[in-house]
Amino acid sequence: MTAPHTAAPGPSPTGHPVVYLDHNATTPVDPDVVKAMIRYLTDDFGNPSSSHAHGSAPREGMDRARRQVAALIGAEPGQIVFTGSGSEADNLALRGAVLAAGDGRRRVITQVTEHPAVLETCRALHRLHGVDITYLPVDGTGRVDPADLAEALDDRTAVVSVMAANNETGTLQPVAELARLAHDHGALFHCDAAQAAGKIPVDVTALGVDLLTLVGHKMYAPKGIAALYVRDGVRLEPLVYGGGQEGGLRAGTENVALAAALGTAAELAASELADGGAQRLRELRDRLHRALAQALPGRTHLNGAGHHRLPGTLNISIDGTTGHELLAAAPGLAASTGSACHSGAATPSPVLSAMGLDDARALGAVRLSLGRWTTAADVDRAAGILVGAVHALAPAAR
User: How many other β-carbons are positioned within 10 Å of the β-carbon of residue 51?
Assistant: 9
74 vs 70: CA distance, rounded Å: 6
Active site residue 191: no
* Alpha-carbon distances, residue 56 vs 44, 49, 60, 263, 328 (angstroms): 9, 8, 6, 18, 51
263, 62 in Cβ contact below 8 A? no
List the end-to-end C-alpha distance of the chain, in Å, as a whole number.
Answer: 45
- Active-site pick, 341, 377, 392, 397: 341
106, 133 in Cβ contact below 8 A? no
271 vs 145: CA distance, rounded Å: 33
Q: In what helix (H) or strand (E) does residue 188 lie, and over which residues does it extend?
A: strand 188-192
Phi/psi at 373 (5° precision): -110, 15
* Closest residue by Cα to residue 136 from 182, 205, 96: 182
Q: Which amino acid is at 40?
A: Y
Phi/psi at 250 (5° precision): -150, 95
21, 370 in Cβ contact below 8 A? yes
262, 221 in Cβ contact below 8 A? yes
Residues with a catalytic annotation lie at 341
